Amino acid sequence: MIKTVKILIFTLLLCLVAEQATWAQIVKDNSEWTFEAKKKKDKEYELIVHLKLPKGWHIYALKPGGDGSLIAPAFTYKKDAKVTLTGSVSEKGKLISETLPGMDGVVNMYKGNVDYIQKATISGNTTLKVTCDYQICDDNMCLPPTTKVLEAKITDAGGADTSATRASEADTNKTAIANPPTATKDTAPKATISPANTPPEAKKDNSLLGLFLAGLGAGLLALLTPCIYSMVPITVSFFTKRSKSRKEGIKNAILYSLSIIIIFTLLGVLITAIFGGTALNSLSTDWRANLFFFPLFCVFGVSFLGAFEITLPSSLANSVDSKANTSGFGGIFFMALTLTIVSFSCTGPIVGGILVQASQGNILGPTVAMFGFSLGLAVPFSLLAVFPGLINKMATAGGWMNQVKVVLGFLELAFALKFFSNADLVQGWRLLDREVFIAIWVVLSLMVGFYLLGKFKLKHDDAPPQNDYGQEYVSIFKLILSIIFFSFAVYLLPGMWGAPLNGMSQFIPPMATFDQFGGGTGGASAHSNNLPDDVKPKKYVDVLKIYEPPVVVNEGLVVYYDLDEAIAASIKLKKPIMLDFTGIACVNCRKMESQVWSKPEVSKRLKNDFVVVSLYCDMNRITLPESEQYFSKALNQKILTLGNKYADIQATRFNTNAQPYYFYIDEKGNKLAENGYGYDPDVDKFVKHLDGVKANYAKTHP
């Protein structure tokens, strides 16, 4: 029965990940391809494929150079009895040749406009078709290889020396961004934001060093979990038998470390490659995924507290472990695989968290993060492999490891509560309002503090140590830890009576769910009383006001939730619009609101100088009328809800999908800043950014 439940849980997790895969397909290929047949004389033509690349993107040359792994464009013309190709395709444009970091040899590429010319002899009128296989890249990522089919009609074969009319691109994935279609049931609505001067957003560096250090720290933290610690005696025994000399021990240790690194890093790369760079990010904010993770983390927490042990099916672990007895690298590799499988029960949540953090960018982020994680996990085990005799005593450490498990158990229960809170907020159940959430966290923190002081014991705890006088005592380390947990509980306690708790606002439910006055103060509606009736926020206010940040409630900032209402207010109030792409379950959004928006110099500017519209990209409880539903090519899905619509606007018009992200436009949809503003809690920088937007608005709106 237990084995069946484990398999079911794992299957459900895979299904949830697979279901969110479509959210990853939102970085658009905005390259423009056209095809022209230009007559030179008599029957001689030049078949020209014109390519216009968006700013910041490049395509590799027909001879790209480098280390041989770069993908060059290729052009295949459909066979036609009236067409004879002469020679091969040549390219014309501004060639850039440079040496790239980590790449052997000189790399050849083009930016801007490129023409691909094929000479041909054409004997009669016909329709030419060419298949273009290519890949475009920017400085951080490459889009998947793409195929486009172009066509051009030849109407002057054998006639006057004129050029054929260019044919439009036949690729069904092409989006007419400059002229979006009128809204119908199956097509995207006409945008209220003009994309004409909206180039692809430059991707920010996702701090690869930060991701590596986060992964490294998580890997070291994973060593404290009981699943990993249980492998210590097995590792010592395995390498004691294999290593007959120090030299051989070092060699085996290196191979063992590399195997661990390869397995875990490959895991991160495969998840990102198969499901997309942002699949896990979307998964982390989906209410169904959060509702699934809640009982899963509860199970982990209760297990760590000693209620039961979580183990993988013995047949699976034994099958892999038996192969570890083979000689050579294969045996060492399968020993590393055994560690991975046995440790999965404890490292799964840690690995998932690292991938969620890293999945904001391209495949490089998860690769670096998982490399850091596996390195942190591998290095200590390598030391065991080199010095197995010195570590034998650790296998009998006893009660202190159980105390680590218990503390981790309480932390797992606290994390589980956050998952349920995310689902509760997105669905609007109001089962876990702010004061209830805080109360449970206060109790959990106090229980950890009392446990560390030895005030109560659990099932597997040893008797406390005694001092020189035969009395039970608490170590200095546990005393310091208990002080930290007690202090945290005291910090949280004022939140029960409405304190903002800005330092933890990204984790706890928003202030508007506080039940002191019957639930929700409705800042936007309350503070809009001084506005004319025709510009007061009305649409979606009743549903979304509970998610308002404290700065809205406390500082009188008016927030809109509908883009059309915000545009109407911008015209009436003569203010620029700040598009706040946010999410109900977005942790960094809450941090920006509590730590940046709440600062007087920021809140004053937002209140007086801007029309702020909060676009919740995960608000899927509000279903759009059938007449407003359409299919999004950017998201590759049917747009059915308000959250879908806002996510599509962000992806289609601004080429980003991360939240929080702030863009600035005027009432006509013209951009007021070259780039948007992502998660960066530097108050001075944000103030400077807002002042720049205001100045740009003043230049065009005297």
Answer yes or no: are the C-beta atoms of 635 and 651 closer than 8 Å.
yes
Q: If pLDDT is split at 50, 70 and 90, which confidence band does 384 have?
A: low
Across residues 12-34, what is the average pLDDT?
Answer: 55
Range of the domain at 46: 24-154
Asked if 574 and 607 sit in the same domain, the reply is: yes
Sort 568 into a burial class: Cβ within 10 Å, 0-12 / 13-18 / 19+: middle
Mean pLDDT highest for which of 216-220, 341-345, 446-450? 446-450
Answer yes or no: is pLDDT of 700 > 80: yes
Please give the pLDDT value at position 528.
56
Answer yes or no: is pLDDT of 593 > 60: yes
Q: Which of 16-30, 266-280, 658-672 has the lowest mean pLDDT?
A: 16-30
Asked if 223 and 305 sit in the same domain, the reply is: yes
Q: Is residue 354 part of a domain?
A: yes
List pLDDT tens digits, range 172-212.
333 322 233 333 344 444 434 433 333 333 333 346 777 78
Q: If pLDDT is split at 50, 70 and 90, which confidence band does 685 have?
A: very high
Cα 429 to chain centroid distance, Å, stands at: 26
Answer yes or no: is pLDDT of 588 > 70: yes
The pairing of strands 611-616 and 577-582 is parallel
List pLDDT tens digits, range 394-420.
444 446 767 877 887 898 888 888 888
The pairing of strands 58-65 and 136-137 is antiparallel
Asked if 223 and 369 sit in the same domain, the reply is: yes
Q: If pLDDT is split at 50, 70 and 90, which confidence band does 544 have?
A: confident
Asked if 390 and 478 sit in the same domain, the reply is: no
Please give the pLDDT value at position 458.
87
Asked if 456 and 544 sit in the same domain, the reply is: no
Q: Is residue 652 part of a domain?
A: yes
Q: Which CATH number do you get for residue 537?
A: 3.40.30.10
Joined tokens for residue 634: 């950017």
Tokens 């390195």 -> residue: 375
Expressed in angstroms, the distance from the first to the final Cα of the chain is 73
What strand order describes the sheet that includes 577-582?
Answer: 559-560, 611-616, 577-582, 661-665
Total length of the chain: 702
Please give the pLDDT value at position 687.
94
Q: Is residue 225 part of a domain?
A: yes
Asked if 346 and 480 sit in the same domain, the reply is: no
- Total structural domains within the chain: 4
Asked if 517 and 466 sit in the same domain, the reply is: no
Among the candidates 504, 520, 535, a domain finishes at 504
Residues 6 or more apart whose CB falls under 8 angstroms from that of 176 comprise none
Across residues 590-610, what is the average pLDDT?
Answer: 90
Provide the residue type at 288 as one letter.
R
pTM: 0.50
List pLDDT tens digits, range 287-336.
777 787 788 778 877 887 888 765 545 554 455 455 545 555 667 777 77
Asked if 450 and 553 sit in the same domain, the reply is: no
Q: If pLDDT is split at 50, 70 and 90, which confidence band does 8 have?
A: very low
Higher pLDDT, 517 or 425: 425
Among the candidates 92, 126, 154, a domain finishes at 154
Answer yes or no: is pLDDT of 615 > 90: yes
Q: Is 679 left (phi over 0), alpha (psi -120 to 50) or beta?
A: beta
Provide the residue type at 216 as one letter.
L
Across residues 475-497, what is the average pLDDT?
Answer: 92
Q: How far apart are CA 448 and CA 435, in angstroms?
A: 20
Across residues 138-144, what is the average pLDDT?
Answer: 72
Please give the pLDDT value at position 246.
66
374, 376, 378, 383: CA torsion to nearest 10: 170
Give CA separation, 463 vs 297, 466, 471, in Å.
29, 9, 12
Asked if 211 and 147 sit in the same domain, the reply is: no
Please give the pLDDT value at position 493.
93
Asked if 371 and 485 sit in the same domain, the reply is: no
CB neighbours (10 Å) of residue 566?
27
- Kindly provide the b/e burial profile for residues 192-211, where b requires at least 16 CB atoms within 10 angstroms of the residue's own CB: ebbbeebbbbebbebebeeb
Answer yes or no: are the C-beta atoms of 655 and 201 closer than 8 Å.
yes
Higher pLDDT, 33 or 68: 33
Among the candidates 487, 504, 521, a domain finishes at 504
Q: Is residue 238 part of a domain?
A: yes
Joined tokens for residue 90: 């040549």
Share of the chain above pLDDT 90, in %: 21
Which among 423, 693, 656, 428 has a CA at the least distance from the CA of 540?
428
Answer yes or no: is pLDDT of 480 > 90: yes
Q: What is the mean pLDDT of the chain?
A: 75
Share of the chain above pLDDT 70, in %: 69
518, 523, 525, 527: CA torsion to nearest 10: 130
Joined tokens for residue 143: 């889009």
Answer yes or no: is pLDDT of 465 > 90: no
Asked if 533 and 674 sit in the same domain, the reply is: yes
Please give the pLDDT value at position 64.
85
Q: Is residue 114 part of a domain?
A: yes
Joined tokens for residue 304: 């760590």
Q: If pLDDT is split at 50, 70 and 90, which confidence band does 695 have?
A: very high
List pLDDT tens digits, range 429-442.
878 888 899 999 99
Q: Is residue 213 part of a domain?
A: yes
Q: Is residue 9 part of a domain?
A: no
Please give the pLDDT value at position 100.
66
Answer yes or no: is pLDDT of 120 > 80: yes
Q: If pLDDT is split at 50, 70 and 90, which confidence band does 491 have?
A: very high
Q: Which of 28-32, 91-95, 363-367, 681-685 has the lowest mean pLDDT?
A: 363-367
Q: Is residue 415 part of a domain?
A: no
List pLDDT tens digits, range 46-57.
999 999 999 888
Q: Which CATH number do you get for residue 128?
A: 2.60.40.1250
Higher pLDDT, 170 or 529: 529
Q: If pLDDT is split at 50, 70 and 90, which confidence band does 514 have?
A: confident
Asked if 551 and 687 sit in the same domain, the reply is: yes
Please give the pLDDT value at position 666.
92
